[in-house]
Structure 1
Amino acid sequence: MIKVSINESRAKKGLVVILKEKDIFRMFAKRICMDTIFYFTAPILITVFYKLSTGKPVELLYPYSIAVTIYCIWMFARYISYRNFYHSLYKMEKNCAYKGQFMKEDEIRINRAFNQVHKQYLQDIKKMEVEGEENRRFLSAWIHSMKTPITVQDLIIQRLNREELDEKTAIQDIMVENTKLLSSLDMVLAMIRLQEFAKDYKPEEFDLENEINQIINDNKRLFIYSSVFPKVVNECNDSESTKVLSDRKWNRHMLEQIISNAVKYSKEEGVVKNIVFRLAKEGKKSVLYVEDEGIGIEETDLARVFEPFFTGENGRNGRNSSGIGLYFCKEISEHIQCELSIESKISKGTIVKVVYLNYPSDVLNSL
């Protein structure tokens, strides 16, 4: 039975090869159909013309035998070339690294185009795999950050049930943890929208100083409860210097995250700290400096603060850092074409620098 199955398998493989050869010959026959018609039309017309013009009998066997022989040799050579090309394509389908036995210029170009398409295809797959892995890591870190406030709320409720906390204190503590949950949800929603940034991008001209004042006003409770107070300093000579072209919403997301980090790493029980928003001009670019008086960042961590999920020494010291915030800011800055950088010294504070591009009025009006 084993021998029979092996023979049957070989027979099937042979049948597949025969069918492929038949397909090649059928496609080749269709390809040369018009060539054949034109090739034999010429000698036939010459023969008819000679017969009608001279009236003499015409020898047909010898010249037509030569014509048919030359035609068969020519078509056989073409068929071999066509067959080799077809088999090379088949091997390319099975093995993408196969370079092919190509001789003609058009065949070489086809091989080169195939390899280029395949190379691009592999690059796209690799990019999708990297993005997928990054999304999985982000989702894992986000779920982990969501679990902490939920766990704390559960512990607060348990203490309330055991009458270890009064209702007012419990509600206040739950509201604090709920704020963390909302902030985390806003973060993940913004990250999802950032993946389709082109659909949600609307550049417009706005006054950066006014925008900063508005953001500070919207986050005044954060500053008050953390005993961290903001101060806006405009070092520009005229009001036009604080006007920038950017996406107002995404710029707001970025600045709010920078402010959140500055407050989180600045607040200290019983100590009043300041955050200075300094507007300056560097050539044709508007620059915003966000300077805090916080704990600072280790020099060894500065080079990696924009990497996803990197928490550094501060995160390991219990500052509830997810390692997502600054990565999120960096992604936004690249999308809205800002330059983002950080300087810091331990126990001295951190300076976040945001450089905006300025555009002439005629460019702004054309947008």
Structure 2
Amino acid sequence: MWHFLKLFFIQHYMWLSSYLVLLIVMNVLMIVDVGMLAVSIWYVNCIMGSIIIVTIVIMCIKDYIKYHHTMEIKETTGYEQQYIRMFHTLLNKQEIVLQEEKLQRKEIEDSLLAWVHEMKSPMTAMHIMIEGNHRLEKEWLRMHLLLDQQLHQTRLYTIEKDSLMKPTAIQPIISQEIKALRAWCLEKDIGFELEGEYPDQVTDAKWFAFIIRQILSNAVKYSHNGSQIYINMQGQLLTIKDEGIGISSIDLPRIFQKSYTGTTGRESKQATGMGLYLANKAAHQLGITLHVTSIVNEGTVFYITFPQENDYHLIKKQSHTST
């Protein structure tokens, strides 16, 4: 009821304001005009007030009836019917345009996915042919990472359908991603140190590997030659620390923004600004939290926190409780 009254006053505020102004003007005239001193102000106010109140009540009742039959055109008359017909016509046109845009976007996504998958075969053949040539392997790796970003960017909108949450061994995934960066690491003489325990975590192996890939590739890219990258895991917390050039305090709050390359990225002209953005988006969908600290010229630390509870845990608890 209060919602209706609020809408009523918003809809008819011009009329209600006009009634109030008219009443005030008439009272002022009766006070100022000497010829109207014999007329009782209270009497006139009562008459006018009663007429206004009755008018407002009638309008309110009519609008209240329409309020409960908004979707029925037969309850309206005249120009209101035309407005409703126009509204429905415009709404239908917008829905048609929206559906067409969705179909076009789906076609573009499908063709892009097909192209990326087609690129995998020549990329695999190229990798076999250039194996052992670290310089060419590095360039191949850069192409591979860009294609991988594009593939996961396209799939990110349907990550719910594309993910499989289950207990996953974390250390083999990290080791595999380190191995994939071998050529780059050999060129820069970068080593890895894995410490701590790596308990299984409930996550999607493919999407978690993508997140690790983005973080490790950034760590290698911005690390100094001959430096180390330290990976440690305790409980739900996984940390990845490098000894690279670091991130400035100005850039740090924005590193997860789309297409933001930062000061370092603009200087190197190799950053796309998409890797960490996509990694953060995917992490959010998996219930993983990413946090970063950094000191310029000393290095950067990524903190990857797995959730204590997620849908998988809740389902398991419910099944145990029911049994």
TM-score in terms of structure 2 length: 0.57
Give the AA of the match of 2:149: M
Supply the distance in 2 between the matched residues of 1:217 and 1:175 (Cα, whole angstroms).
13
1:219 aligns with 2:181: yes
Q: Does the CA contact (< 8 Å) of 1:243 and 1:358 recur in 2?
A: no
Please give the residue correspondences for 1:288-303 in structure 2 after superposition, counting only pairs within 5 Å: 288-303=238-253
Q: Which runs of 4+ in 1 moved over 4 A?
A: 171-175, 359-367
Give the AA of the match of 1:245: V
1:88 aligns with 2:80: yes
Q: Deviations over 1:132-168 (max 9, x none)?
A: 8xx9xxx9xxxxxxxxxxxxxxxxxxxxxxxxxxxx9
1:352 aligns with 2:305: no
**Runs of 5+ consecutive residues of structure 2 not aligned to the other structure:** 1-72, 113-129
Q: Deviations over 1:116-144 (max 9, x none)?
A: xx7xx89x97xx89xx8xx9xxx9xxxxx
Pick closer, same or farther for the CA change 1:89–1:334 going to 2, 3 Å.
Answer: farther
**Runs of 5+ consecutive residues of structure 1 not aligned to the other structure:** 1-80, 97-117, 140-167
Please give the residue correspondences for 1:1-367 in structure 2 after superposition, counting only pairs within 5 Å: 82=74, 84-85=76-77, 87-94=79-86, 175-234=137-196, 242-268=199-225, 272-281=226-235, 286-318=236-268, 320-359=270-309, 363-364=315-316
Pick closer, same or farther for the CA change 1:172–1:292 going to 2, 3 Å.
Answer: closer
Q: Does the CA contact (< 8 Å) of 1:294 and 1:349 recur in 2?
A: yes
Pick closer, same or farther for the CA change 1:211–1:178 going to 2, 3 Å.
Answer: closer
Pick closer, same or farther for the CA change 1:197–1:89 going to 2, 3 Å.
Answer: farther
* Pairwise CA distance, 1:92: 2.7
Structure having the higher Rg: 1
Q: Does the CA contact (< 8 Å) of 1:244 and 1:358 recur in 2?
A: no
* Pairwise CA distance, 1:215: 2.8
Q: Does the CA contact (< 8 Å) of 1:305 and 1:311 recur in 2?
A: yes
Pick closer, same or farther for the CA change 1:82–1:189 going to 2, 3 Å.
Answer: closer
* Pairwise CA distance, 1:311: 0.7
* Pairwise CA distance, 1:88: 2.1
Q: Deviations over 1:317-358 (max 9, x none)?
A: 215111111101111111111101111110010011111024
* Pairwise CA distance, 1:174: 5.1
C-alpha RMSD of matched pairs (Å)? 3.6
Q: Does the CA contact (< 8 Å) of 1:205 and 1:364 recur in 2?
A: no
Pick closer, same or farther for the CA change 1:213–1:182 going to 2, 3 Å.
Answer: closer
Pick closer, same or farther for the CA change 1:217–1:175 going to 2, 3 Å.
Answer: closer
Supply the distance in 1 between the matched residues of 2:137 and 2:170 (Cα, whole angstroms).
32
Supply the distance in 1 between the matched residues of 2:164 and 2:295 (Cα, whole angstroms).
36
TM-score in terms of structure 1 length: 0.51
Q: Does the CA contact (< 8 Å) of 2:137 and 2:183 recur in 1?
A: no
Q: SS of 1:252's equivalent?
A: helix
* Pairwise CA distance, 1:190: 1.4
Q: Deviations over 1:30-68 (max 9, x none)?
A: xxxxxxxxxxxxxxxxxxxxxxxxxxxxxxxxxxxxxxx
* Pairwise CA distance, 1:87: 4.8
Q: Deviations over 1:172-231 (max 9, x none)?
A: 655543332222112101111112212211111023234323332343333223211111
Q: SS of 2:166's equivalent?
A: strand
Give the AA of the match of 1:276: Y
